Amino acid sequence: MTKTIRELAADLAAERLTSVALTQEMLARAEAHRAEGGHAYVSLDGEQALKEARASDALRAAGVVASPLAGIPISIKDLFDVRGQVSSAASLALTDAPPAASDAVAVARLRAAGAVLLGRSNMSEFAFSGLGLNPHYGTPRNPHDERRVAGGSTSGGAVTVALQMAAGALGTDTGGSIRIPSAFCGLTGFKPTAATVPLAGTVPLSRSLDSAGPIANSVDCCAILHAALSDQELSTEAPRLAGLRFGYTADFVGAGVDAQVRQAFDAALAQLRAAGALVEQFDFPELLQLPAINGGGGLVAAEAWHWHRELLEARGAQYDQRVAARIRRGQQQGAAEYLDLLDARAHLRAIAQQRLAPYDAWLMPSVAIVAPEVAALEADDATFFATNGLVLRNASVINFLDGCALSLPCHDKGELPVGLSICGLNGRDARILAIARSVEALLRER
């Protein structure tokens, strides 16, 4: 049985388990996964992880427990700096970069909370895809169906959690890169307001849209990890669902949803109504402007080009060429186009404040489709780019609005996973986490 971080912490506190034993167990699963051809981890740091676990057990014996994360193994996405290691962002173009002189802020905060760092998880190269394919380090496969993708860009991180090779994963989210793999792998993922977790010491994709957050097995797990990452107090608030107001829209994020996702989403809405929540459809037609706004590659391409332009010139042949092509779209944008994007974003954020004002949270399918199969995506560029766009569509709305969102599993047992996203505007992180606790408890009754 998969245990939550809080359950593992209770086992450690009651001396039913040691951090060393837990770390050895997860390392053994990770090694077995690699031996069987799995690609969840780019690298494992077993010796250092066990050293950290021994230190954690010694501190606990002395009465020192930094947080509920003390002694808990966590995987780190391969774009976060870890002192003494190379942050390659799962690309060959950075494999000979110098080792990091210090930890990224997010990594340092996990260390301060007592977490054990197991290794670097695989990802879409430079975090620039919602599907998780990687031609350099292999493509992590979906734990529920190995023919399918795990979702990107935090693909490996999701698989480490789903296969109990870590109790949680540190990921990033620029257009859905935490919520998409969470939805595809039947996990819980939280994308906080971007400014909540400092990104110093990470390989960036888009300085305007990047955010760092957790993938884990429950809302409580995500809340524990987010509290450490954001250096905030942990809250366990879970409001009554009766009387809460939820809105959903058919505009943009509700279109083109496949049958299984639609069925799971509608069933979740029905459960919320039965629990006494007010669930109503509202109009948000301005979202239909997003394809035109981002038609030239959007903020992601513009800001990725700024960071990558010299590296692409020197080592473009070592890139995944699908990633390189998307980055190079930013080269076609000038200052005027970039400022137009910023203005469009500010305009849409102001409209969202009005549209969402009546609601405690905005609900949407995390992804419009279930996890697609790898073979078709690898074989054809047109299929890859069309599917990637559809997979990113819903989640990327929240990044563009600078909001926060949590994806919860909402599918029936035995079916391919489907995610329900509970979304809020900038700074509503604590409220969204609290509401998500209550929604999670309701969905688990099904």
* Residues 316-336, mean pLDDT to the nearest whole number: 97
Query: How much is the pTM?
Result: 0.98
Q: How many domains does the chain have?
A: 1
Q: Which of 91, 124, 177, 230 is catalytic?
A: 177
* Residues 20-26, mean pLDDT to the nearest whole number: 98
For residue 177, indicate whether it is catalytic: yes
Domain assignment present for residue 330? The answer is: no
* Residues 48-73, mean pLDDT to the nearest whole number: 98
Q: Are strands 168-172 and 188-191 parallel, antiparallel or unpaired?
A: unpaired
Domain assignment present for residue 185? The answer is: yes
- Residue 40 pLDDT: 98
Which two tokens mark 201?
């010491």
Q: What is the pLDDT of residues 235-264, one digit of tens each?
A: 999 999 999 999 999 999 999 999 999 999
- Residue 203 pLDDT: 98
pLDDT at 1 over 90: no
pLDDT at 233 over 80: yes
Domain assignment present for residue 203? The answer is: yes
CB 77, CB 64: distance < 8 Å:
no
Domain assignment present for residue 37? The answer is: yes
- Residue 188 pLDDT: 98
- Residue 445 pLDDT: 85
Domain assignment present for residue 388? The answer is: no
- Residue 331 pLDDT: 97
* Residues 118-131, mean pLDDT to the nearest whole number: 98
- Residue 446 pLDDT: 73
217: pLDDT confidence band, cut at 50, 70 and 90? very high
Map 314-359 to HEC letters: HHHHHCCHHHHHHHHHHHHCCHHHHHHHHHHHHHHHHHHHHHHCCC
Domain assignment present for residue 183? The answer is: yes
Q: What is the pLDDT of residues 169-197, one digit of tens each?
A: 999 999 999 999 999 999 999 999 999 99
Q: Which of 153, 211, 230, 407 is catalytic?
A: 153
CB 58, CB 286: distance < 8 Å:
no
Domain assignment present for residue 59? The answer is: yes
Domain assignment present for residue 254? The answer is: no
- Residue 218 pLDDT: 98
- Residue 43 pLDDT: 98
User: Which residue in 278, 364, 366, 384 sits closest to 322, CA to CA?
Assistant: 384
List CB contacts of 1: < 8 A, sequence separation 6 or more: none
- Residue 257 pLDDT: 97
Q: Which of 77, 191, 218, 407 is catalytic?
A: 77
* Residues 300-328, mean pLDDT to the nearest whole number: 98
Q: Give the percent of the chain with pLDDT over 90.
A: 99
Give the domain extent around 39: 5-230
- Separation in Å, CA 251 to CA 41, 297, 312, 315, 346: 38, 22, 38, 41, 20
- Calculate the average pLDDT of the chain: 98
- Residue 213 pLDDT: 98
Q: DSSP string of 135-198?
A: TTT-PPEETTEEEEE--SSSHHHHHHHHTTS-SEEEEE-SSSTTHHHHHHHT-EEEE--GGGS-
The domain that holds 34 is classified in CATH as: 3.90.1300.10
Q: What is the pLDDT of residues 383-435, one digit of tens each?
A: 999 999 999 999 999 999 999 999 999 999 999 999 999 999 999 999 999 99
CB 371, CB 343: distance < 8 Å:
no
pLDDT at 34 over 80: yes
* Residues 280-296, mean pLDDT to the nearest whole number: 97
